[in-house]
Chains A and B, each alone.
Chain A
Amino acid sequence: MSVLIPARFPSVDLAAAVVGRPVGYGWIDTIGAALAFLQGRIKHVVCAADYLSRAHGARRFLYTPSRGARVLVVVIGLHESADATTTQTVTLALSSATLLTGAPLDGSAAVACPTARFRTPQQYVALFDVSKLVVGTLYELVVTSAAGAGTSYGVRRVAAYEVPRDATNAPGDPANEPGINPAFGQPGTNLYAGSVSTSGDVAAGMERVLGQLDDARATTRRFVVNLASVEDTTNAWSLASTSGSYLDLGTPYLRTRAKRLYAAAAAGNTLQARIRYALNGTTATLRFKSSAGTTYDLALANTGGAWTGVTGTVKLDTNLGAGSNAQEDYWTISANVGGAGKVLYVSAIAAVDNES
């Protein structure tokens, strides 16, 4: 039996509760519906980019699923070409996930490119089954294009988001489904604390509320930066070594807005950064510098020219003001590359909220 997830966030009136009195079932039921809404309806928007580099190759976007995510929508737009007969192939891949839609975005068929003198809307949509992916694990959504007939220029825009849920399929399964099973409480009675070993009675409801709050705190709105270029030494961002100074990689537009969970400046706003890069015969340090000047460094090892991913922790400044611009910050990304004549190549930059 499925349980409906409300289409809107339910109103929670604190004035209805009197301190010192027991809380009734209806109160917890409302909180459960609110959490189901947050985790079931407000799914991740993973990325949306236009004006990607005008070339063929692989682009790697970071993806980590939200609680209860089942289907990921990926929308692709192509760079325009000289005429309507030009084609290319596009192959989507996401480890541990199944591509539900087949051709053409499985790379098995050519897709037509939009022509330069037309603006007729043209986009391609693919769906992934992401139900087997693990919450908290980082995956890569790889978008690879290759030339077909004529002269084509690759993928221009990519957008991806998780399909919102109308209902939970197994509301008694705390590990996989959002919200709280209404059967865990009883109308007209109080909600009692207790062990999950008494699953299904009013006692387990309390554990479920706390667990769902923990989940929502950690997994709601995780993506703050997700940008990828073609992974080759021609199209990726690059930076040649200098005498020990940090140089701008040309990305001051990594503006974002942090999730503000706690009042204390020292807590929260920790993010996990993921970089795809290549180095040959040297090491480098990649530096994230927040608007207030705080720096966070990622050490990049010598990869012998191969492309690899590195993950590290960065932070945004906290208490950045109130109002519609609250919690805004931006990073300047720079790097120090060792060894004369050595070059650092960076093909993807991503950051996700890392609250746990």
Chain B
Amino acid sequence: MTAGLDAGVVAELRRSFAAALSEKDQARARESLLAAGWLEALDADESVSVAIVFGLQGSTRGDVAALDDVIAHHVGAPADGSTAVAYPVTMGGKRTHVAFGAHADAQRLVWVGEETLDLVTIAAGLDGPRVQGVDPDLNLISLPEPPTGTSTPIKDAAQVWERALAAGRIALSHQLAGASRTVLDLALSYAQSRRQFGTSIATFQAVKHRLAETLVAIEAAYAAALAAATNRNPISAAVAKALAGRAAEVAGRHCLQVFGGVGFTLEHDFHLYFQRNLLLGRLLGDQRTLERELGARLRTGALRGERIVEIDDLPPAVLLQR
């Protein structure tokens, strides 16, 4: 981080990034985001720019592979948006890789091995079968094997990946929280307009409590993402991703109850956010796996004295106002 972004610049970036992400075509939206200064903002103030862009990717579902740029930023790849990432995922216990189709024109690919990181040149761009899964719209490409091309190992892979993984988890936490907040807003307005028993369902305490519970989960996830972005502690980033996964789960469960039957249908937007969140909740570690890993570290004494955030960690002021 070279210089923090002030409130005026942040407001302007928020506007131009939102406009870019509202474009329907992923590749064009990505071009627009880059043209709006996303990579420069990432370089100037990662915490703030990531919070804005990923919060927007969550609320608009305009996913443009910005995660690739965050990872590239941390593995020392050229900062021109030309590097994609093959993300390790498991399917039925088997390890494989996926990449963002929005970034199929990338010239390089970071291949995340079990203990290695390689930068592979891909002159012809990315190609492979599209992952259908729970959310085909995200447009993930399946990459069971590294593509052919000149491959250069990245030095100090373990430390580099630890930092990059933490940055990626922070970014996805903002996206999950942003999407969950949008689901909550939809549920709030639905609850106020839907009438049963002669009154709006927002007057029922059972409904209010589900909505309140959703906000609580989102606020915890947002605070944790902010803390991890501030101190760049990999444990804090794992916590943030776990809390964001939980927030998405809570928002999905409670808000669907508020929408009732219509929330289950394709006529309502709920499923779009819900299914996107299922997929992003899985990427770079789902909450259950993260909790199990943190629990193992706790049990073996590796987290003794870990406090996640300290009072003299200073959160970016522009992100503290919500």
A and B interact physically: no
